[in-house]
A and B are shown apart, each in its own frame.
Chain A
Amino acid sequence: MATRTDSALSGPALYEGTKIPAPVPSWVQVSDARRESGNVLQVNFGPNHPSTHGVLRLVVDLDGEEVVGMRAVIGYLHTGFEKTMEQKSWWKAINYPSRIDYLATFQNELVFVLAIEKLLEIEVPAKATWVRMALSELNRLHSHLIWLGTMGLELGVQSMYMYCFDQRERVLDLFEMVTGVRVHGRYCQAGGLAEDIPAAFVEEARAFCRNFQKMIGEYERLTWQNKMWQRRTQGIGVVSAEDAIRLGLSGPNLRGSGLNWDLRKSEPYLFYDQVEFDVPVYEQGDCDARARVRIDEMRESLRIAEQSLDKIEQMAADPWISGERKVVLPPREELQTSMESLIHHFKIVTEGYRVPAGEVYVAIEGPRGEQGCYVVSDGGAKPWRVHFRAPSFLTIAAAPTLCQEHLIADLIAISASLDTLMGDSDR
């Protein structure tokens, strides 16, 4: 292929047919000879750009309109989550992960709380797990809606933005009903949920799901049957399954290349092995395939959410948090009668609960891919080390591989179809 043989800097290929550049997998380099020929222009898709989905800087070498060199520079949103969480108690640290991937807010705090619960070896009541599942799937819907709206905006199908944001508001209404705020609800607690769900939630959520079923059909007509969309996504940004595994892609980016890998089916967590749903997989590996995976996933999320809502309705009177008093606050009524409850309450609020020493890695299927959390505890009331595995970090590193030999307009389509998020990648 032109870029590989052309570059004097390429090293030995990983395997036959790989498109991953060498020696640096995340940097498509232009040979000095080509650069000196005077045809190559280096352009900055600077951190402030409408189509880079956040503060991403792409340094792109262009020969006319063709992308001949590219690398990504990130870090413009580096927030120091991991170090900040080491300073806070376990309880307070749960506030932070929500802000990492700010579209999949619930799933971020879920993965951190799952890691804490794994270290604590605490049992979570079934109702809490079903509610977490329902909210996770609604969160996935929320993330995919915003992805679809912004991808439409960038590919020229601008009305998608308004339609998707309208539906997104309804999802946020449900979150507001449960957590009190639209986003960053901080609803997960070690041992279950912070509070019981309101009585009207199941009915409202069902009404939303019924309405949203019809909307998905409308979105498909606005996208697949739109010639602009087809021409800009089909055959663009193809990545083979083997390359996708090597690059560490996950989630819809893997499933768009033909790999049937979804953590909810392959390594089930919560109660995903007790619900029926399908995993959409498309073979082509181009932008269109990745987009179709996400839209089909929206349908499957509705199925899972509806099944979870049925379960929640049956368990309306069940506890929503574990009864383990060393970790979970006792109910307020008990504080008036039981001395021990008062002491437990005091200790948990002032010192914080202790998590036994150990290290765990928990991974869940977020909307962007494998969202992981590596936690090391020293047995104390504060985390010793928290590390988040961000799917967008590796996706952005893989973007140059996908963008080789494409036109600059395809760059926008590829970066939109990869669904990266800077808060997630920069942490």
Chain B
Amino acid sequence: MGIADGKRLADYGLSSERLLMEGKGPGAFEQEVAQLEQAVLATTLDKAVSWAQTHSMWPDTFGLACCAIEMMAVTGPRYDLARFGMEAFRNSPRQADLMIVSGRVSHKMAPPLRQIYDQMLEPKWVIAMGACASSGGMFANYAILQGVDRVVPVDVYVPGCPPRPEGLTEGIIRLHERVIAGVPPAYEMNEGIC
């Protein structure tokens, strides 16, 4: 994926493993985000809007299979999603900002998936949670869509079968970083199929 001038986020040094890398403590990350923001030339108003968007990004209830149970675990008391303001899973796509596709998408489910995505209002983001949503997972067969990015543009892919709740939280945080840095949602990118 690329921003308007074609560079990748990693080229700007943005990385969420910042806390594990030497010399990249929380301070260095804020520096990177600041550099990225300068590169993207977001206005103060844009930054304020992005900040607000990431602090109450309500997901849509799109749990499909095993990953859905781990997604529910993220909302549970141990891996509390409410600290990000995201525990309000909206059942109506009209009120949702984020679609976490959690589980294997069959060819029969792909049209409803696209319909739900179309019913969401901009700005909207998609997280492909798990191996099945990212690429079809362990099911390379006639029944499963080989990656949900065949029908919807995806912002973040979270690997795992299923990803641990911490893994999904990492994916959500990376999405928040993306939004705060001013990167537009996937449907506005010049790559992708939709």
Contact = CB atoms under 8 A, between A and B. Distances in A.
A contacts B directly in the complex (CB < 8 Å)? yes
Interface string A143-180: 00010000000000000011001101100100000000
B76 A183 contact: no
Nearest to B61: A50
B185 interface: no
A184 interface: yes
Given A48-B62, A76-B108, A102-B65, A165 B162 contact: no
Given A79-B144, A95-B138, A166-B77, A184 B109 contact: no
Contacts of A75: 106, 108
Q: How large is the interface on A (under 10, 10 to 19, 20 to 34, 35 or more residues)?
A: 35 or more
Contacts of B69: 102-103, 146, 183
Contacts, number: 95
Chain B CB within 10 Å, residue with most, of A48, A183, A423: A48
B9 interface: no
Contacts of B161: 184
Interface in A31-77: 46-50, 54-55, 75-77
B70 interface: yes
Q: How large is the interface on B (under 10, 10 to 19, 20 to 34, 35 or more residues)?
A: 35 or more
A319 B162 CA distance: 30
A211 interface: no
B109 A79 contact: no
Contacts of A79: 104, 106, 139, 141, 143-144
Interface in B23-80: 61-66, 68-70, 72-73, 75-78
Contacts of A48: 61-62, 93, 112, 116
B164 interface: yes
Nearest to A74: B108
DSSP majority for the A interface? Answer: loop
B72 A80 contact: no
Contact of B138 (A47, A50, A96, A183): A96
A184 B66 contact: yes
B103 interface: yes
Contact of A55 (B78, B91, B109, B138): B109
Interface of B: 61-66, 68-70, 72-73, 75-78, 89, 91, 93, 103-104, 106, 108-109, 112, 116, 138-144, 161-162, 164
Interface of A: 46-50, 54-55, 75-80, 83-84, 95-96, 99, 102-103, 105, 146, 161-162, 165-166, 168-169, 172, 182-184, 422-423, 426
20 contacts: A46-B112, A47-B109, A50-B89, A50-B91, A55-B112, A76-B108, A77-B64, A79-B104, A79-B144, A84-B141, A95-B138, A102-B69, A105-B66, A146-B72, A162-B77, A165-B75, A166-B76, A166-B77, A182-B164, A184-B66
